[in-house]
Amino acid sequence: MSGAAATIGRDVGRILEALGGLMIVSVLVTLAWGEYFALPALLVSAVVPLGIGRFLYRRYRSADAPGRLHGMIVAAAGWLFVGLFGSLPFLLVAWSVELGVPIVSTPQQTATLAAFTNPLNAIFESMSGFTGTGLTMTDDESALPRTLQWWRTFSEWVGGVGVIVLTTAILSRPGSGSLTLYESEARSEKIHPSVVSTVRTIWWIFILFTFGAILTLWLAGMPIWGAINHAMTGLSTGGFSITDNSIATYDSVAIDFALIPIMLLGSIAFPVHYLILQGDLRNFYSDLQTRWVFLYMSTGSALLWGLLYFAGPYETPFAALRYGLFQFVSAATCTGFQTAVDATNVAIGRWPSYAQLTVTFGMFVGGAAGSTVGGIKIIRGLTLAKGIRYQISEVFYPESAVRRLVINGRRLNDEASSREFMEAAIVFVLWVTFLVVGTFVLLLALPADDYTLPNVFFEVASAQGNVGLSSGITGPDSLPTIGKVTFLFHMWIGRLEIIPVLVMLRTVFQRGGLYA
């Protein structure tokens, strides 16, 4: 094996080891709830990635530290393999119930669990979980064993911060290699000079907020098991639920409004959280991204409220505020919790098209870079807007003028501003291109006349933005195989902001002689 392949194999092996460890930890939930039929499936699921990861690490432990190219390939391959191997608990538990487990009592098979006997559905659920998307292959989440409810939640909680961040925190070594891997997972800002110290601080903040969120939801009236799961998936802006109709199941104003600040916490960058926890409250308004998170959420929610009340389906201002505010924040933070479903009110898929497109725009932008959200990120949107204004205004200044582009307190010269503008523009163009291609594929794959163009556009944006809101398309039976494969790709590229996946695919095709 070449030096580059050894480096990639070693670091992917570390990620798989971490995944196996997460599954072993989850055994505690299986034992606590007495679901012994799931125990063999979960242990086998853990042994597979743990064994492969251990072999790769021991085989290539002396490989060189990763460079930028290696880091991107490790990130893309690592997230792909985590999605694949993370599907084993769904697949094996479903087959354990289907076939029966000797000695222990096995529950009766349900249609919801039986869907995971299809490997593609299991992979879809796993990829949706780890990427923090929240689109699901379940018809009724409440019918799942507690072991799988937990594994869905745990995958989103870990994926929200990042599997490479987790690996760096507990397994990796200090040095430039860790920094390269950290940056390859679409992160750049550090809390401390040391990357290992930074990621450990991120996890401490995340754990602290998780306990706070659990307490908040419990006090708002949510049962403790629901509070644990929804706090974890809300803070990680993942959006998996353990109930059939997401948050709408509770039909509680108190729970709806308790979840809004939890989702907002997940959309703010961790370095800002750290500074605020240190007592520097100025960051609420002095940090460009944090300021725009609140401004953007407020403006979008007000617009959606107006559309839903004055021209939409709700008869009272409070109903329009309740559902409009929650759904816009859920979309823009890329969480994907739903309160607007047919069981309790008007489902998003039956909202007016302009209201659906407003929510789609929220999913498109997302929250702050360095947080748990998806989308193109607020900082890129601001960089594009400022860069366009900078380029246009250039013609009004003499050639000898010395100008600076100011972004988040940084004064960039012409070269630096052009580089940042170009990077933001490339991600934006790629994002839109894949969004359009995915919409086209879904229009071809779905039955004609079943869904409108806004429905399909909404669903693809939800998958690519790692949001999880659904207009009703995604489901084990309603989404055809080509649609599931398409969404798997969208969730993957959306989590890594596209570039690392393209770099990995180019490398693979180049090695295969398919790319000159």
Name 42's Cβ contacts closer than 8 Å, sequence gap at least 6.
23, 26, 27, 30, 89, 92, 93, 147
Is residue 479 classed as helix, strand or coil in its secondary structure?
coil
| HSE of 184, CA atoms in CB hemisphere, 13 A | 30
Check whether 129 has a pLDDT greater than 90.
Answer: yes
CA 297 to chain centre: 19
Closest by CA to 375, choosing from 132, 140, 143, 175, is 132
Residues in the chain: 516
Per-residue pLDDT tens for 19-72?
999 999 999 999 999 999 999 999 999 999 999 999 999 999 888 888 888 888
Cα three-residue angle 80-367-334, rounded to 5 degrees: 55
pLDDT digits (tens, 9 = 90+) for 135-185: 999 989 999 999 999 999 999 999 988 877 777 766 666 555 667 777 766
Question: Which residues, 6 or more positions from 373, have their beta carbon under 8 angstroms from its beta carbon?
Answer: 237, 266, 267, 333, 334, 366, 367, 466
Cα(147)–Cα(504) distance, rounded to whole angstroms? 34
Q: What is the mean pLDDT of residues 259-273?
A: 92
Rounded Cα–Cα distance for residues 369 and 375 (Å): 10
Rg, the chain, Cα only = 23
- The amino acid occupying position 408 is N
Which pTM value belongs to this model?
0.91
What CA–CA distance (Å, rounded) separates 176 from 187?
Answer: 15
For 502, residues 6+ apart whose C-beta sits below 8 A from its C-beta are 430, 493
Token representation of residue 513 = 């002689």
pLDDT digits (tens, 9 = 90+) for 189-240: 777 777 788 888 988 999 999 999 999 999 999 999 999 999 999 999 988 9
Q: Looking at residue 118, what is its pLDDT? A: 96
Question: CB neighbours of 8 closer than 8 A, spacing ≥ 6?
Answer: 66, 70, 73, 74, 77
User: In angstroms, rounded to a whole number, what is the distance separating the alpha carbons of residues 47 and 20?
Assistant: 6
- C-alpha to C-alpha distance for 179 and 27, rounded to whole angstroms: 32
